[in-house]
Amino acid sequence: MRQPPATDIEFLPRLTVGRNPSLVFVLAWRSVGSRLTRGADVADLAVGDIIKNITDDVKLLVQDQIELAKTELMPAAKLGGTGAGLFGAAGYFAISATIILYFAAAFGLVAAGLAAWLAFLIVGAALLLLAGILAGSAT
């Protein structure tokens, strides 16, 4: 099998990352096998050389697999980090809005004619009752 020259980019294998076809990486062409076994008759080599060549080939294969895994997982990790950050910001704003709603409920009771201390006491007691019910139902 004739191998194309490494400088001709049209013959190089391509790898599409994820589902986005616009993210295409061109992989470098590597011939398989170590220098000693390429083109040589394996029967002419000593057993030690054959084992060494197999070990070298396995190391190369593992390194390539690790490189491929890094290339495939990097976009997913970036999206996951962005999603986690946005989810944390959403949680912060939800808690802030909930606190404001508690104050609005207390001031609504004040506007209905209750004393301020009694309105805040009622809202606080209602929240503690709700927390107790939720904690009791979790077990």
What's the number of domains the chain is made of?
1
Q: Alpha-carbon distance 109 to 105, whole Å?
A: 6
Residue pLDDT, tens place only, 96-115: 999 999 999 999 999 999 99
pTM of the predicted model, to two decimals? 0.46
Nearest to 18 by CA among 65, 74, 95, 82: 74
Flag whether 23 is in a domain: yes
Name residue 69's amino acid. Answer: A
Flag whether 2 is in a domain: no
Flag whether 111 is in a domain: yes
Residue pLDDT, tens place only, 2-35: 555 555 444 445 555 455 554 444 444 444 455 5
Task: State the residue range of the domain holding 21.
Answer: 9-138
Flag whether 4 is in a domain: no
